[in-house]
Amino acid sequence: MRLRTLKWVIVTLFVFSFGLVNFNAIAQTRSVKVVPENEDTFRKALTLYVAKNYNRAFVNFESLSSSRVIHQRTTATLLMTGKSLYKLNRYLDAIPYFDRLISGFSKSKYLDDAFYGRSTSNYKLHDYFSSVEDLLWIVDNSSNSKLVEKSKNLALQAAENLTSDDFERLLRSGTGESSAAVLTIAYARSKMEQGSPDVARTILNNYKQKYRRNQFTAQIDQLLSNSDRAESNSFKIGVVLPLSGYFSEEGLAVLHGIKFAQEKIKNIAGRPVELVVRDSESNLIQAIHHVETLIDRENVTAIIGELESQVTAGIGALASAKHVPVIGPAATENGVASVAETVFQLNSDLENKGRALAEYAINEMGLKTFATLAPTDDYGQQMVASFSSAVDELGGRIVAQRWYNGRPEDLGRQFKSIRETAFHFDSTDVDSLILKAKEEDRKLEEYQIPVNSIDGFFFPFSFSDDIKYIAPQLALHNINTQILSGEYLHDLDVLQGAQVQKYINGAIFISDYFPDENSRDYRTFRTEFRLKAKKSPERWEVYGFDAFSLITKALKDGATSGADISGNLSELSGFNGKKGVITFRDNNRVNREVNILQFINGNIVKHHKTVQADDQF
């Protein structure tokens, strides 16, 4: 078992130990029997759960939770049995275990976790009313602020599926001040989406008359302001993309994703959402000209564009003078968002990527020594700089650092130099290899001596085809190491090539893009896109969809101006985009979320860091 996982188990058992004391204290008149052998079963089940062996974890937890005797682990095993079934996608089977904890142990410290487990199970079963009902209970009653925030967000999401009758029933059911605010916001949004701002105003004013000022007042006032607008002027979103020129294929794909997203949102707060599209022609001057007209003549509220980092920075700086936010759907270079507080990068920049990969390699994989071989272009230099800086800060060592220009067809000089440097740190018994070769009457070639002193070898190449040349040469030079790379390794067609896969199997790399294809939400999105476009959505379409979704999310939250949108997006955290999670908060408007991926046995899989059990749902 890995050290970090072991720590998780120890911490969790410590927490459950406190639960045991609390459980004995609140058992009231019921007799609680301490069964020593249950501890071993519980610990074994918990270890299996952490290892994601949910079938075996369920069997062990269930053996404890099904006992007729109320023992020291009864409440904990009821919770964990339900969670194990949830992880197995057996949502209907999970609910009775949460029910038993809720109905039988109303003072348990795991009560709010049981409510959350039941709510998420009902959400998966599309019983949105029951899901929202439990989530609102948590909002009103839980002391766990993190769980309350998570429940509030999920409640707003689930409430999008409620009818007016559902909202009225919930509001009449004796909700508290906080849950009533969540319901009011969701109900008012629903009415404004339906083009009924007058009804939305009544809902919002009813809440204000009943409750004093609180943490929700500003948001409710903003929604009231929106509903009070007599005119039905549209929200205009500008789009500046290369629809002709060198990057036209990618630009058209991003636009396709934007338009698909727009079709799903006809209006917001009773106001239509309009796209104003301009072709940058893959030209910075043309892009700047279009931004000027979009702001001065079209009065756009926000702009999506462009694809190149330098162009995005240029139009972002110009738009900031009029407080119009710009979302770059593809910009990755360092410093793009720093040109203005109204510029946002949908993808992480190279500084974040290099650092995140180094942190994962050292903290999660235990690697200590590294070599780098990179192109001399901006991408290679920025990635190596951030990776090396993080390695130094974390106590690792860069053994060798080499560069190349153009296509890496012959890297013999670089690999030979790296081998020579690495031998200064190597523990390989060269003398014994030479002696063995003499005994076998053969000549020992230099490349036959393995290099074992480089734990990780970082190759941040900027074209996916480069790996076709690099991988065989790495193997030829007999360097035993863990391959590390950037997002350009994220090309399954190249990785599965006959001359690549055998050398690259097990490689770890970092990428912005890794849709959760197992989630119901993404599968629905993909199916709807296929029906509309007669093709599957790919990276560029998804970027466009997510960029548009971020702006409309801000508008739904009550933003009405460019400054409002910028303020809303600056606080964005944990937004579930189709490309993956998006977080701008506390990271200078650059998405801080990245994916650690591995190519193994012909497939790309995602690595997950260890998290606490409460974060598993």
Q: Please tell me the number of Cα atoms within 13 Å of 53 on its side-chain side.
A: 11
Distance CA 501, CA 521 (A): 32
Q: Is the pLDDT of residue 232 over 70?
A: no
Pairing of strands 235-241, 508-511: unpaired
Over the stretch 562-606, which tens digit does the pLDDT of each residue have? 999 999 999 999 999 999 999 999 999 999 999 999 999 999 999
| pLDDT grade for 72, boundaries at 50, 70 and 90 | confident
Q: What is the pLDDT of residue 596?
A: 95
- Residue 219 gets the label, from left (phi > 0), alpha (psi -120 to 50) or beta, of alpha
Q: What is the pLDDT of residue 230?
A: 36
| pLDDT grade for 260, boundaries at 50, 70 and 90 | very high
List, in sequence order, every residue forming a beta bridge with 238; answer none if it has no partner: 276, 303
Distance CA 99, CA 82 (A): 9
Over the stretch 108-127, which tens digit does the pLDDT of each residue have? 999 999 999 999 999 999 99
Mean pLDDT along residues 48-56 = 93
Distance CA 381, CA 387 (A): 10
Q: Who contacts 566 (Cβ-Cβ below 8 Å, separation ≥6)?
A: 323, 325, 341, 342
Q: Is the pLDDT of residue 64 over 60?
A: yes
| pLDDT grade for 443, boundaries at 50, 70 and 90 | low
Over the stretch 239-250, which tens digit does the pLDDT of each residue have? 999 999 899 999
Q: What is the pLDDT of residue 427?
A: 60
Give me 228's structure tokens: 């009070």
| pLDDT grade for 62, boundaries at 50, 70 and 90 | very high
Q: Who contacts 583 (Cβ-Cβ below 8 Å, separation ≥6)?
A: 572, 573, 574, 575, 591, 592, 593
Q: Who contacts 233 (Cβ-Cβ below 8 Å, separation ≥6)?
A: 271
H helices of 302-349, where?
309-320
Over the stretch 311-365, which tens digit does the pLDDT of each residue have? 999 999 999 999 999 999 999 999 999 999 999 999 999 999 999 999 999 999 9
- What's the pTM? 0.63
Q: What is the pLDDT of residue 25?
A: 40
Q: Is the pLDDT of residue 448 over 60?
A: yes
More reliable by pLDDT, 516 or 459: 459
Distance CA 82, CA 94 (A): 4
Q: Provide the mean pLDDT of the chain.
A: 88
DSSP state of 418: H
Distance CA 394, CA 109 (A): 38
Q: What percent of the chain is modeled with pLDDT above 70?
A: 88
Q: What is the pLDDT of residue 269?
A: 76
Q: What is the pLDDT of residue 498?
A: 83
Distance CA 544, CA 257 (A): 5
Amino acid letter at 509? Answer: F
Over the stretch 490-499, which tens digit does the pLDDT of each residue have? 888 899 988 8
Instruction: For residue 402, give the 3-state DSSP assignment.
Output: strand
Over the stretch 208-226, which tens digit does the pLDDT of each residue have? 998 888 888 898 888 888 7
Q: CA-based angle 247:251:255, to the nearest 5? A: 175
Strand order in the sheet with 271-279: 267-268, 271-279, 235-241, 302-305, 326-328, 343-345
DSSP state of 360: I
Number of H helices, E strands in the chain: 25, 15
Over the stretch 288-309, which tens digit does the pLDDT of each residue have? 999 999 999 888 999 999 999 9
Q: Is the pLDDT of residue 14 over 50?
A: no
Q: Who contacts 185 (Cβ-Cβ below 8 Å, separation ≥6)?
A: 156, 216, 219, 220, 223
Instruction: For residue 67, report the phi and psi dihedrals to the nearest 5 degrees.
Output: -65, 140
Pairing of strands 595-600, 508-511: antiparallel
Distance CA 273, CA 278 (A): 17
Domains and CATH numbers, the chain: 1-125 (1.25.40.10), 235-348+520-573 (3.40.50.2300), 356-511 (3.40.50.2300)
The answer to whether 344 and 372 are in contact (CB under 8 A) is no
Render the burial of 581-608: b for 16+ CB within 10 Å, e for the rest: bbbbeebbbbbbbbbbbbbeeeebeeee
Distance CA 504, CA 470 (A): 10
Distance CA 327, CA 331 (A): 9
H helices of 228-272, where?
248-264
Q: What is the pLDDT of residue 488?
A: 92
Q: Is the pLDDT of residue 138 over 70?
A: yes
Give me 27's structure tokens: 């058992």
Q: Is the pLDDT of residue 614 over 60?
A: no
Distance CA 419, CA 447 (A): 9
Report CA 298 to chain centroid distance, whole Å: 34
More reliable by pLDDT, 505 or 431: 505
Distance CA 76, CA 14 (A): 12
The answer to whether 382 and 409 are in contact (CB under 8 A) is no
Residue 190 parent element (H or E): helix 177-193
Distance CA 460, CA 381 (A): 9
H helices of 66-107, where?
74-87, 91-104
Q: What is the pLDDT of residue 3?
A: 41
Q: Is the pLDDT of residue 558 over 50?
A: yes
Instruction: For residue 535, give the 3-state DSSP assignment.
Output: coil
Between the CA of residue 348 and those of 189, 353, 365, 595, 608, what are the distances in Å? Answer: 31, 7, 22, 10, 18
Between the CA of residue 62 and those of 38, 59, 609, what are the distances in Å? Answer: 12, 5, 27
Concatenate the DSSP letters of all residues of 364-399 into one string. Answer: IT---EEEEEEESSHHHHHHHHHHHHHHHHTT-EEE
Instruction: For residue 104, give the 3-state DSSP assignment.
Output: helix
List, in sequence order, every residue forming a beta bridge with 343; answer none if it has no partner: 326
Q: What is the pLDDT of residue 30?
A: 56
Most confident stretch, 13-22, 263-272, 484-493: 484-493
DSSP state of 363: I
Distance CA 469, CA 116 (A): 51
| pLDDT grade for 194, boundaries at 50, 70 and 90 | low
> Tokens 């390989």 map to which residue?
428
Q: What is the pLDDT of residue 10?
A: 45
